[in-house]
């Protein structure tokens, strides 16, 4: 019987080994561990098991898990045994100062995408419950609205496939290309860069590392089997995407009027800003997606007005009219 050593199988084996060593008060010999951990039962030879077990011990210690080696004695003579002391393994009680809680609360609001927002909100509720009545608030940051969207339709499927280490297939239109082409990819990382999301992975047909901008994926993402090319240990997704994006810069410029004291995210990336009078500034903002920018501008409500190009003005107006309609036409 062959033993799988895929990332998922390895993770499951390490988790089962950890639970096995946590569940005992006395150190266990290797022979006993071999019978208790299911993945070890399929190893054909003692030599192969010894090599796997030694690697797994090193992995656990590298993860900071306090695996202890002790002499068992008795019938086992000088054979070593292994266990994990629960007192050393358990985390201490957590405690946060009010300003630390405020920062954590702010971070929990970063995700706006439906696939991630519930998890972020749940995590914040758990952290806030640790300090009942002791300043679990975001008040120091009132008025600051951080966002990390992932609004592209392909984002949820790619995020799940990347975490699960499963191959993906999708249609992709390269810059300057007329028609999309099918890509089969082992996904390694999703990276946000200047408001856009990129996938870094191994292209199975082109046999090499590639980067894909999610807004250019034009089909549903199909998920396949487990990846065959593991993420390189020295992979730097942020650096790779930054280099890739040098040739992927936006070419469209929008004119946007912003109320003084508002639209800070727009101001940071504007290539020019002038005084428009009466408490307004006019910004020149580069963008590559009219729809994405329209979503962003509409989110500012009456503090931001799109002036050009006309397709952006129309897109923002359409979004605001949709909000008004959903409220029953109330003004």
Task: Assess whether 230 and 257 both reside in one domain.
Answer: no
The answer, yes or no, to whether residue 312 has pLDDT greater than 60, is yes
Residue 2 lies in a domain: no
Residue 146 lies in a domain: no
What is the model's pLDDT at position 203? 94
Task: Assess whether 18 and 87 both reside in one domain.
Answer: yes
Task: Assess whether 221 and 259 both reside in one domain.
Answer: no
Task: Assess whether 233 and 316 both reside in one domain.
Answer: no
- Mean pLDDT in the chain? 80
Give the integer Cα–Cα distance in Å for 291 and 311: 9
The answer, yes or no, to whether residue 76 has pLDDT greater than 70, is no
The answer, yes or no, to whether residue 208 has pLDDT greater than 60, is yes
Task: Assess whether 263 and 296 both reside in one domain.
Answer: yes
What mean pLDDT do residues 117-141 have? 57
What mean pLDDT do residues 41-51 have? 89
Domain CATH for 237: 2.30.30
What is the model's pLDDT at position 241? 85
Which of the pair, 26 or 115, is modelled with greater confidence?
26
Which of the pair, 210 or 250, is modelled with greater confidence?
210
Residue 138 lies in a domain: no
Task: Assess whether 238 and 267 both reside in one domain.
Answer: no
pLDDT interval class at 9 (50, 70, 90): confident
Q: What is the pLDDT of residues 12-39, one digit of tens each?
A: 899 999 999 988 888 898 889 999 998 8
∠ CA 40-8-3, nearest 5°, is 30
Task: Assess whether 116 and 11 both reside in one domain.
Answer: yes
The answer, yes or no, to whether residue 270 has pLDDT greater than 60, is yes
Q: Of 35-49, 137-151, 174-188, 316-330, which range is least confident? A: 137-151
- Domain endpoint, select from 218, 248, 278: 248
Task: Assess whether 272 and 205 both reside in one domain.
Answer: no
Give the integer Cα–Cα distance in Å for 312 and 257: 13
- Domain endpoint, select from 217, 248, 279: 248
Q: How many domains does the chain have?
A: 3
Residue 239 lies in a domain: yes
Give the list of residues 6+ apart from residue 175 with CB closer than 8 angstroms, or none.
216, 247, 248
Residue 134 lies in a domain: no
Task: Assess whether 159 and 55 both reside in one domain.
Answer: no
The answer, yes or no, to whether residue 294 has pLDDT greater than 80, is yes
Which of the pair, 244 or 190, is modelled with greater confidence?
190
Highest mean pLDDT: which range of 27-36, 105-114, 172-181: 27-36
What mean pLDDT do residues 143-155 have? 62
Q: What is the pLDDT of residues 224-252, one digit of tens each?
A: 999 999 988 888 888 888 878 765 555 68
User: Helix, strand or coil for residue 71?
Assistant: strand
- Domain endpoint, select from 222, 248, 274: 248
Highest mean pLDDT: which range of 33-42, 81-90, 286-295: 33-42
Per-residue CA distances from 278 to 59, 209, 260, 297 (Å): 63, 52, 9, 20
Task: Assess whether 71 and 168 both reside in one domain.
Answer: no
Task: Assess whether 66 and 110 both reside in one domain.
Answer: yes
Domain CATH for 123: 1.10.10
Residue 140 lies in a domain: no
96, 107 Cβ separation under 8 angstroms: no
Q: Which two tokens stand for residue 88?
A: 């050393």
28, 17 Cβ separation under 8 angstroms: no
Instruction: Tell me which residue range forms the domain holding 232.
Output: 154-248
């Amino acid at each position: 019987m062959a033993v799988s050593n895929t990332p998922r199988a390895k993770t499951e084996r390490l988790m089962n080994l950890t639970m096995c060593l946590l569940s005992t008060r006395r150190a266990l010999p290797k022979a006993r561990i071999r019978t208790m951990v299911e993945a070890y039962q399929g190893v054909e030879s003692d030599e192969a098991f010894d090599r796997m077990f030694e690697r797994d011990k090193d992995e656990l210690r590298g993860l900071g898990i306090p695996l202890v080696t002790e002499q068992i004695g008795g019938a086992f003579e000088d054979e070593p045994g292994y266990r994990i002391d629960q007192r050393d393994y358990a985390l201490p009680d957590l405690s946060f100062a009010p300003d630390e809680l405020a920062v954590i609360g702010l971070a929990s609001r970063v995700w706006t995408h439906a696939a991630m927002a519930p998890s972020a909100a749940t995590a914040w509720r758990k952290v806030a419950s640790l300090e009942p009545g002791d300043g679990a608030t975001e008040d120091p940051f009132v008025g600051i609205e951080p966002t990390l969207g992932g609004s592209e339709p392909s984002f949820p499927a790619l995020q799940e496939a990347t975490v699960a280490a499963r191959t993906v297939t999708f249609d992709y239109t390269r810059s300057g290309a007329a028609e999309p082409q099918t890509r089969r990819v082992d996904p390694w990382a999703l990276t946000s860069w200047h408001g856009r999301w990129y996938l870094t992975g191994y292209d199975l047909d082109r046999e090499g590392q590639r980067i894909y901008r999610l807004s250019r994926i034009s089909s549903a993402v199909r998920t396949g089997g487990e990846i065959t090319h593991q993420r390189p240990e020295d992979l730097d997704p942020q650096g790779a995407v930054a280099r890739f994006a040098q040739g992927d810069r936006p070419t469209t410029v929008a004119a946007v009027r912003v109320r003084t004291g508002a639209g800070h995210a727009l101001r940071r990336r504007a290539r020019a800003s002038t005084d428009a009078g009466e408490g307004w500034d006019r910004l020149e903002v580069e963008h590559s997606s009219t729809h994405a920018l329209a979503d962003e501008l509409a989110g500012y409500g009456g503090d931001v007005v799109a002036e050009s190009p006309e397709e952006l003005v129309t897109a923002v107006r359409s979004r605001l009219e949709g909000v008004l309609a959903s409220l029953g036409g109330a003004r």
